[in-house]
Amino acid sequence: MSTPTRIAPAHWIGGKAVAGTGDTVPVINPATGEVVAVVPAGTAAEVDAAVAAATAAFPGWAAVPPAERARAVGRIADGLHARAEQIAATITAEMGAPITLSRSAQAVFPVAVAASFAGLAADFPWREEIGTSLVLREPIGVVGAITPWNFPLQQIVSKLAPALLAGNTMVFKPSEIAPLTAQLLADVVAEAGVPAGVFNVVHGTGPVVGEAIAAHPGIDMVSFTGSTRAGRRVAAVAAQTVKRVALELGGKSANVILDDADLPRAVEHGLASAFANGGQVCGALSRMLVPAARHDEIVDLVVAAAGRYTVGDPLAETTRIGPMATRAHQERVIGYIERGIADGATLAAGGPARIDGLGTGAYVRPTVFAGVDPHAVIAQEEIFGPVLAVIPYTGDDHAVEIANGTVYGLGGAVFGEPDHALAVAGRLRTGQVDVNGAHWNPLAPFGGYRQSGNGREFGRYGLEEFLETKSIQR
pTM (2 d.p.): 0.95
Co-location of 198 and 282 in the same domain? no
Label the pairing between strands 35-40 and 24-28: antiparallel
Same domain, 270 and 320: yes
Instruction: Tell me, yes or no, whether 147 and 287 share the same domain.
Output: no
Cβ 400 vs Cβ 374: under 8 Å: no
Domain match, 245 and 265 both: no
Give the model's pLDDT for residue 22: 79
Among 248, 382, 457, 465, the active-site one is 248
Q: Which domain holds residue 461?
A: 11-249+452-473
Q: CATH number of the domain that 312 lies in?
A: 3.40.309.10
Asked about 68 being catalytic, the answer comes back as: no
2 within some domain:
no
Q: What is the pLDDT of residue 8?
A: 63
Same domain, residue pair 231 and 274: no
SS3 (DSSP) at 245: strand
Please give the pLDDT value at position 2. 44
Q: Is 387 part of a structural domain of the chain?
A: yes
Domain count along the chain:
2
Confidence (pLDDT) at 359:
80
Is residue 131 domain-shared with residue 173, that is, in the same domain? yes
Q: Is the dihedral of CA 65, 66, 69, 71 positive or negative?
A: negative
Whole-number pLDDT of residue 317: 95
Statement to judge: residues 212 and 277 lie in one domain: no
* Angle ∠(187,277,146) on CA atoms, nearest 5: 45
Q: Determine phi and psi for 232, rounding to 5 degrees.
A: -60, -40
The model's confidence at residue 245, banded by pLDDT at 50, 70 and 90, is very high
Residue 5: inside a domain, yes or no? no
Dist CA 36 CA 112 (whole Å): 28
Phi, psi of 265 (to 5 degrees): -65, -40
Closest listed residue to residue 79, CA positions, set 200, 198, 181, 202: 181
Do residues 467 and 407 both lie within one domain? no
On the question of pLDDT at 225 being above 80, the answer is: yes
Greater confidence (19 vs 142) lies with: 142
Q: Are 123 and 266 members of one domain?
A: no
pLDDT at 7: 62
Both 242 and 271 in a single domain?
no
